[in-house]
Amino acid sequence: MPSRRAFMAATGAVALPVLINAPARADGRRLADPFTLGVASGDPTPGGVVLWTRLAVDPLALDGSGGMPDADVPVQWQVAADQSFRRVVREGTTQARAAAGHSVHVEVDGLAPGGEYFYRFRTGQDLSPVGRTVTAPRPGTRTRDLNLSFTSCSDWQTGYFTPYARMAEDAPDLIAFLGDYFYEYGPYASNVIRPVTGGECFTLADYRLRFALHRSDPDLQQAHAIAPWAPVYDDHDIENGWAGDIPEQPDPPFLPRRAAAFQAYWENMPLRRAQRPTGPDMTLYRTIRWGAVANLHMLDTHLYRDLYACTGKPGMIPADCAERLDPKRTMLGADQEAWLDSRLRTSGATWDLLGQQVFFMQMDWKNGDAVEFSNEGWDGYAATRTKVTDAIANYRRNGVVLTGDVHSHWAGEVKRDFGDPDSESVAVELVTTSVTSARDGLDKYPNTDILLAENPHVKFFNGRRGYVRTRVTAEAMHVDFRSLKYVSTPGAPAYTSGSYVIEAGSPHLKEA
């Protein structure tokens, strides 16, 4: 089996140059390539994975159709043990359905657990680029450690997607994407690095076009083609600052807009049928199991949450906002809370990783004596946070919360009781920065040292763009915060701005 580096070297970018005999139309012109949006895989199981592509001959067609006819198109798929497809192990035919935006989702099984595979699609005479994927190890085994990378927040207009390319160069086993895959906004008034195609997303056509714009990016295509993803949405995948059934903007009506966004999300992500939305409803929370090494619980912190405490809209609230402590308020909803508790109680893995969107630790964001919390993060839903930390502590889990949303790297320790400075740490939180949101950034801001001093359980900050790279084993979780100094022009190298080790059995961050 080729090494990961050899695969990257051989492919360079995503596309292997294996397109055969370009097909011709009656007028002699070559038909357009239908695989302009690349390939992806996701949600691995022991010996299984979802394979994804979406056909689009004109990806930026303003009607969101990708230039495809209003008809279903048969698509063949292949999975091989080698990247030259001499050893094909599974193959079949499916339909790229017009009603699903000509997306293809193949739930492959029967592969070897903990195996590395290559896959591709064909329609007519066109072959897709080749993707690499990895299946989860057999339950209860440690045959494969977990190389997990995660990131969040890629805003087309504020930069180049170089962090995706750098993440792909590591060829991890799994990529968790923690929300804000795009921003729903129309063109920004100023400081635009890359102009967006289309206006603010309201309709299914709008969201399909926004996804297609992002998937036309070669750096993002590379990140999808190198490893399976486990994605969740945050707010901007639908609308800024939504909570349950409550939008930020009352117009247009929110539930049809949410239904359109969910439909496009499912179409464009390598998700299983179990995540397929029904109108404005979608069950996105789920667990990716990695043998006895780790369970990755992907949470939905938007669809079931109560409205933002004390102000009704996302923002800062004073410490005396009593509503944020109301035990009746929920971040996850009763069903997801019960599900997570059950998953933690019955987990047999060394690590329980919570992939989710918003800041979990308590965080005083206000310099000086005054205390201000964000009501968008778990500080606004403290009762639900206590249920989760109690479950982690009571069930003796090695809990690590993986977070996005805030456009900067942070790491800290989750206290059993944030009201007590001597309280024990029960888990660790790793917060990834953004791919491009917040633009080039700085390693450190003028208020950074004050924030860290006023929140002593928080140990690390970096304000550049990037991603987090981890290696999860039976003994420890090794963490590298990867940073890039610029995304305003292409090609930045990545550097490690912080390195930590979390040892199993000890919920503390140790500098590596």
Tokens of 418: 């944030």
What is the CA angle 143-144-149, rounded to 5?
165
Q: Is 180 in the site for Fe ion (CB under 5 A)?
A: yes
> Measured between alpha carbons, how far is residue 8 from residues 13, 69, 83, 133, 136 in Å?
7, 34, 11, 13, 21
Burial class (CB in 10 A: 0-12, 13-18, 19+), 396: exposed
Site for Fe ion in 123-162 (CB under 5 A): 153
Nearest to Fe ion of 402, 502 (CB atom): 402
Q: Is 358 in the site for Fe ion (CB under 5 A)?
A: no
Per DSSP, 225 falls in state: H
Rounded to the nearest 10°, the torsion over CA 225, 260, 163, 230 is -60
Q: Nearest distance from residue 210's CB to Fe ion, in Å? A: 14
The span of 56-64, 176-184, 241-249, 473-481 binding Fe ion (CB under 5 A) equals 176-184
Q: Nearest distance from residue 172's CB to Fe ion, in Å? A: 22
Nearest to Fe ion of 153, 226 (CB atom): 153
What is the rounded distance in angstroms from the CA atom of residue 510 to the CA atom of residue 512?
6
Nearest to Fe ion of 427, 487 (CB atom): 487
The span of 71-79, 177-185, 261-269, 381-389 binding Fe ion (CB under 5 A) equals 177-185
Contact flags string 241-280 toward Fe ion, x per CB under 5 A: ----------------------------------------
Q: Nearest distance from residue 236's CB to Fe ion, in Å? A: 6
Q: Nearest distance from residue 401's CB to Fe ion, in Å? A: 17
**Residues 6 or more apart in contact with residue 247 via CB below 8 angstroms:** 239, 254, 257
Tokens of 93: 């035919």
Nearest to Fe ion of 149, 389 (CB atom): 149
Nearest to Fe ion of 158, 295 (CB atom): 158
Contact flags string 87-126 toward Fe ion, x per CB under 5 A: ----------------------------------------
The span of 103-111, 178-186, 357-365, 379-387 binding Fe ion (CB under 5 A) equals 178-186
Q: Nearest distance from residue 405's CB to Fe ion, in Å? A: 6
Q: What is the per-residue DSSP string for 170-181?
A: T--SEEEE-S-S
Q: Is 337 in the site for Fe ion (CB under 5 A)?
A: no
Nearest to Fe ion of 11, 437 (CB atom): 437
DSSP helix, strand, coil percent of the chain (3-state; round to 5): 20, 30, 50
- Could you tell me if 355 and 298 are in contact, meaning their C-beta atoms sit under 8 angstroms apart? yes
Q: Nearest distance from residue 388's CB to Fe ion, in Å? A: 22
Q: Output b/e per residue, 9-46; b: 16+ Cβ within 10 A.
A: eebeebbbeeeeeeeeeeeeeeeebbbbbbbbbbbbbb
Nearest to Fe ion of 310, 438 (CB atom): 438
Q: Nearest distance from residue 316's CB to Fe ion, in Å? A: 17
From edge to edge, which strands make up the β-sheet containing 39-45? 103-108, 48-54, 39-45, 229-231, 174-177, 146-151, 465-472, 476-484, 494-503, 510-511
What is the rounded distance in angstroms from the CA atom of residue 330 to the CA atom of residue 371?
22
Number of residues that bind Fe ion (CB under 5 A): 3
What is the rounded distance in angstroms from the CA atom of residue 254 to the CA atom of residue 237?
13
Nearest to Fe ion of 78, 437 (CB atom): 437
Task: Outline where 407-500 has alpha helix (H).
Answer: 448-454
Tokens of 505: 């059995």
Nearest to Fe ion of 289, 482 (CB atom): 482
**Prior bond of 46 cis (ω within 30°):** no
- Could you tell me if 343 and 297 are in contact, meaning their C-beta atoms sit under 8 angstroms apart? yes
Q: Nearest distance from residue 317's CB to Fe ion, in Å? A: 20
Q: Nearest distance from residue 406's CB to Fe ion, in Å? A: 8
Q: Nearest distance from residue 154's CB to Fe ion, in Å? A: 9
Q: Nearest distance from residue 155's CB to Fe ion, in Å? A: 7
Site for Fe ion in 398-417 (CB under 5 A): none
Site for Fe ion in 432-451 (CB under 5 A): 437
The span of 38-46, 173-181, 238-246, 425-433 binding Fe ion (CB under 5 A) equals 173-181
Q: Which residues bind Fe ion (CB under 5 A)?
A: 153, 180, 437
